[in-house]
Amino acid sequence: MTNKYIEIEMLPTACGIGGSFSAKASFCLDNFKAPFYDIEVKIDTGCSISTIPLKRLKVSDNLCETLKKIDVVNGVPYFLSYGIESGGLRHEVPVTDVEKIECPAMKFEHGISDFMIGGVKISSDKICLNYDRKGNVLIGMDILKDWDIRIGVSKVTGKSLFLACPMENECREYIKALEMHFGIS
């Protein structure tokens, strides 16, 4: 099913304070033959560069190790991302191929196609892959910067709601949802 905008209710944390916005995604990656369907992704405005940790997708340790070695040897563009689990500590930048293969902070830029989040076609054709981590698939500001996004309490449901529409999709349905849930016209 194709949608023009995303509407997600916030999933509360177990303790009831805060929560997160998750959706299902599907996509094809340039280094895999098989497509991925119904993959849970988290919307994360604090994430600069969207990242797919392949181990989260149940890709085997051996395949992840092989794919990472291929990316290192082929000089695939990468970013270093230490994330919250590193406690903000400074790290040495890996220089040699061995250091790069051992560094869990590397995420490599790959092509993505047939990319949909919550039934909405995403125009982004690049995403980063991490071969070492098992954390959440994060949709960050490299993708979200091109969307109109509203977060608030719905006047209809009384629940926290994320409404978003890629700017290229601006449509009457999204405008109606903004009016209905948030009184924005």
- What per-residue confidence (pLDDT) applies to 84? 55
> What are the CA-CA distances from residue 74 to residues 67, 70, 71, 97 (Å)?
10, 6, 5, 10
pLDDT of the residue at 83: 61
> Residues 97, 75: contact at Cβ < 8 Å?
no
pLDDT at 16: 81
- Under a CB-based contact definition with an 8 Å cutoff, are residues 26 and 127 in contact? no
- Phi then psi for residue 55, to 5 deg, are -65, -25
Q: At 24, list the tokens.
A: 């299902």
- Integer angstrom CA distances of residue 62 from 39, 42, 58, 74: 21, 26, 11, 18
**Distance, CA of 24 to CA of 38 (rounded, Å):** 5
Q: How far is CA 92 from CA 95, 125, 138, in A?
A: 9, 30, 24
Closest CA to 79 of 59, 64, 100, 61: 100
Per-residue model confidence (pLDDT) at position 7:
96
Q: List, as one string, the DSSP characters of 42-98.
A: EE-TT-SS-EEEGGGGT--HHHHHHHHHHHHHTT--EEE---GGGTT---PPP-SHH
pLDDT of residue 89: 56
Confidence (pLDDT) at 142: 96
Q: What is the pLDDT along the chain (185 residues), one digit of tens a residue?
A: 689 999 999 999 888 888 999 999 999 999 999 999 999 999 999 899 999 999 999 999 999 999 999 999 999 999 998 765 554 556 788 999 999 999 999 999 999 999 999 999 999 999 999 999 999 999 999 999 999 999 999 999 999 999 999 998 878 999 999 999 999 88
Report pLDDT for 68. 98
Map residue 174 onto helix, strand or coil: helix
Cβ 154 vs Cβ 181: under 8 Å = yes
Q: Which helix (H) or strand (E) is 25 found in, with range?
A: strand 22-29
